[in-house]
Structure 1
Amino acid sequence: MAALQTTPPSVSAAIAALVGIAIAGGLLGAIGSVVVRRLRNPVGKYRLLYAAVLFPYTLLAYAVFALTGVGAAFLTALPAAPDLVTGILTDFVTFLAAGSVWIISYLPTVRGIRDVRDVDLATGTSIWKMTRYVIGLSALLSVVLIPLQVGSIESSPLALAIGLAALVLGMLYAAPWLITVLRSTSTPTGGTADRVERLCDRASLNVRDVRILDTESEETANTLVRGPPNYRRLFVTSTFLDTFDDETATALLAIEAGQLRTHVFEVRVGTVLVAGISLIASVIGIGPRWPLLGLALGVILVGFWLVRRRVRAADEYAADQVGRMATADALTEYADLHSLEPTRRRFPNPLSIKVAFGDRIDRLRTANNL
């Protein structure tokens, strides 16, 4: 936000900062891609590279740009404008700068993903889709943050954190409409609409409407349900409908229905928000530092444990709907399509928000044989 910035640097210094951070991100992505391709289960490791390395690096880049006023520096050549307009434009440029770092960091990994998954994923197409997403998300975040430009919430760091949390929750509930803006979607018609409705009925997945995400080149077969309780929208990829037969698709949709019933997504988001606010309060000195750090760690441990339990409960729900073996087979087919090796853990990782894929499959198959 604009109020977080110090005196903005010169345009040349802002360009140098952007280029330097972007080049470092590109090197990070290239080195990470080389390492990941040599590891076991490279597709899973690519996902970890994005979530644990490149995304945090992008957040760090945004923090640097926001605190040093890089966004404001790029606007110095524009005519004077009202403070509100200037603040919105500054936020947009700052988000766009951080987004460009993400794109450049992501670029070296496209070829690696294409090779390890053996898919026809054109680099230009992939980067264009990512660029469109970044531009749309930057504009959206700039508009969403308008209340922070006109209010006095920025005077309190803790109030700012809580305000941001409220905005995040608002965006999550508005996701059914936001995703259609940021991604290429279509409404199913004819036989496709009838099939999706039939699959949802068999899986006991209650949604208000459905949108199809175009993922032909990526060959990702995923489903996603977002929205408030009275307006659930199902997003299903075109690859999901084209690749899986009715039995497999029903089982995977039943897992999605189980995760809705056990509130997996809400627990994940709540855990991250509460832990993040506690951590911010500790770092900026609002309240006792060590107790707040302990609270953040405790929330993470308990929240992640709850998520893992609810993921297993969702699998059980799907097993009740379509059978244990059908659910296990569906998870296996999903892993095979995405070139994922089902991993297994002898002991659960307390800092993991997911259940190992192989453990989920084994649990379903073993219980079926008891």
Structure 2
Amino acid sequence: MAYVPQVKIPATYMRGGTSKGVFFRLQDLPQAAQAPGAARDALLLRVIGSPDPYGKQIDGMGGATSSTSKTVIVSKSVRPGHDVDYLFGQVSIDQAFVDWSGNCGNLSAAVGPFAISAGLVDAGRIPQDGMATVRIWQANIGKTIIAHVPMTHGAVQETGDFELDGVTFPAAEVQLEFMDPAAEEESAQGSMFPTGNVVDDLPVPGLGALKATMISAGIPTIFVNAEDVGYTGTELQDAINGDAKALAMFETIRAHGALRMGLITHIDEIAKRQHTPKVAFVAKPASYVSSSGKAIDAGDVDLLVRALSMGKLHHAMMGTAAVAIAAAAAIPGTLVNLAAGGGERDAVCFGHPSGTLQVGAQASQQDGDWVINKALMSRSARVLMEGWVRVPGNAF
């Protein structure tokens, strides 16, 4: 019996923030996968090693968590005022499904460095030393991200002393600006608050009416109070990820929030929409010990936030959810803002399972509606491996 040989595809394996993913130049993908569709999805599933009923992704590049089951496609942009287009695919671990419904804020930090190193940014825009500004069009949600990438001797600087909780080793800082991050094009009414309210009573079977802030900024996110769902906000992953009842509860909240936000039209559709919306719970400051053993004092943070991604409590914080936190914190009356003490603020430091993170947002009111001009945060990025990824030739 004749077997189909493997094909080699140029690829780069990168860490961005607290996530890892396989990066491709669009032009390097096989012809059949250069356009959206079944062939592209099948290729990326095989690259990552999904669907895997064992939940380990042993036969692929994935790491069997939502943070490490990711793919990125980057190309030169024809959009005025932008250098590159960035498309993110969240690959399901146990299902044959790639979710294109949202962005990855953590991997956004790696897009600028990858684009420069891959020759996708015009050489005239890259300084020999100093800071390169890469203008990124986030194609999943139709938004602009500005990445400030440090350069040394004409190459991307990857090493440095910037420390990020959730990442073991220091690296060079990449500053990100998420421009006009609110109201993804697909969200109901095109509003940052799809329901029109900063806080709603969200009916959830088995829980009654939960107070919830449902916001579309960075990524659609449903915030609830920790105490309303039986938690303190100091929990680490094991407290929730080993509790099937708790995970089912959060998925129910997510499904009913998505329906209320207009992201789905029937509750059953949530099964095919794993990446968005996110669900998170917030609490006022309290002391706890992070997953690395680092003591976090209540005085070190403005509030506590725990968020779930792809059905599990995240080990740190998704970058796009951090944008949602920054936006909600800047708007008086949201649950995030109230947990942080209320009032107007342009930055918060929040506690997450791996430590703390500082984020900021510029908010203003226009015609009675809140607008986020941009959200700010710092991440780091590093190439882990580059060369070719191999997949069987009949995999796509």
Output the TM-score relative to the length of structure 1: 0.31
Larger proportion of strand: 2
Larger proportion of helix: 1
Output the TM-score relative to the length of structure 2: 0.30
Task: Please identify the structure whose Cα radius of gyration is greater.
Answer: 1
